[in-house]
Amino acid sequence: MNFRKTLVALAALAASTAALADINVGVVLSLTGPGSGLGIPMQNEIKLWPQTLAGEKLNVIILDDASDPGKGVSNTKRLVTEDKVDVIIGSCLTPVAAAMAPVAAEAKTVQLAGSPVGVPAGQDQWLFRLPQSNDVMAHAMVAHMKKLGVKTVGFLGYTDAYGEQWLKAFTTEGEKNGIKVVATERFARTDTSVTPQALKLVSANPDAMLVVASGSGAAMPEKAIVERGYKGKIYQTHAAATPDLMRIGGKDVEGTYVVSGPAMLGDQLPESNPSKKLATDFYTQYDKAYGKATLNQFAGHAYDAHVALAKAVPVALKKAKPGTPEFRAALKDALEANGRTVFAHGVMNWTKDDHWGYTNETGVMVKVSDGKFVVEK
């Protein structure tokens, strides 16, 4: 009888040890609501991930934040308390990711944000960004404007953190290069019209307009500007580098300049671009799975999340088992020590003091031509 009890106990121990070795990834994305055009492609890419990571079974739990910060918080609390995940990915919307960050930090769980979220200095110890910082992308955009002789810019952007961070980044970089923001207007993500703002901006008649919006919401403000008779250059940020811009904007967004990460540009990239191989791989496998012209750069962030984890997890496994606080801490340390790592979206080098990582060479300027993004030469 004692022998049988011992066998049962050993079997239970073996089962629990095997379960402990599973790597659990919690994902919070906007699968409904205004951010769904960003979240669904990220979910699609995650579904293409291998079922194992560093030889361990990979369990992925995907939750919908409905484009709502409150829902993002409740989802994150569930993931860290009930599912006890080893890492969190999300959200694709800046306000949601910002709301999630304190919860992930309190649980001492790495958060790989799918949006360029900013938090107060010193509060991002557990927060790593998969997108490029607004500073990095503003650098590429301003360089392009300077090349085209732009001196004055009108700003039309979200009232939230994404809009304000872009305004700050662009204004700072622009002033260094003799480019001035001469008119500033804002709108909420839920607004369906920006007619008053567009009228004010068009009357200011700047050399260029900068629209700061994301996904399917990026076309509406640009159409409003064009419909009010604006004939100058129009720029959009990397959150607008999605097929939705052309699908919804149609002829009104032809000729628009968009700053983008390299991930969605594939074989358009020059051979000298270090991301060309991974960008092409991402582009090819996503097209094969879901059809052409359906990917966006947010799907690329999901691809890069796997690249980052594939490099960091084997290092963390040498220190602890998944499912433990020690493993979560080891994973954070490993990401900070990953060193130069080529992503589909550029070259990343996270450090203990820099959880943004990308360099100023990352941004790629594209132009909407015949309904497609074409790399500017």
For 62, 88, 91, 116, 272, the CA distances from 82, given in Å and listed in that order, are 14, 13, 19, 27, 46
What pLDDT was estimated at residue 296?
85
What pLDDT was estimated at residue 371?
93
What pLDDT was estimated at residue 8?
42
pLDDT at 61 over 70: yes
Q: What angle do CA 143, 146, 152 make, to 5 degrees?
A: 120
What pLDDT was estimated at residue 266?
85
**Span(s) in the chain for CATH 3.40.50.2300:** 2-132+288-348, 134-260
Of these ranges, 227-236, 256-265, 285-294, the one predicted with the greatest mean pLDDT is 227-236
Taking domain 134-260, whether its CATH number is 3.40.50.2300 is answered by yes
Classify 343 as helix, strand or coil. Answer: strand
pLDDT at 227 over 50: yes
Superfamily name with CATH number, domain 2-132+288-348: Response regulator (3.40.50.2300)
Quickly list DSSP for 232-257: SEEEE-GGG-SHHHHHHHGGGGTT-E
Tens digits of residue pLDDT in 292-332: 777 888 999 999 999 999 999 999 999 999 999 999 999 99
Tens digits of residue pLDDT in 89-133: 999 999 999 999 999 999 999 999 999 898 888 889 999 999 999
Give the separation between CA 377 and CA 369, rounded to whole angstroms. 13
- β pairing state of 346-348 and 110-113: unpaired
| Nearest alpha carbon to residue 89 among 133, 127, 53, 41 | 127
Give the separation between CA 295 and CA 325, rounded to whole angstroms. 35
Share of the chain above pLDDT 70, in %: 95
Could you tell me if 115 and 189 are in contact, meaning their C-beta atoms sit under 8 angstroms apart?
no
pLDDT at 21 over 90: no
Indicate whether this model's pTM tops 0.75. Answer: yes
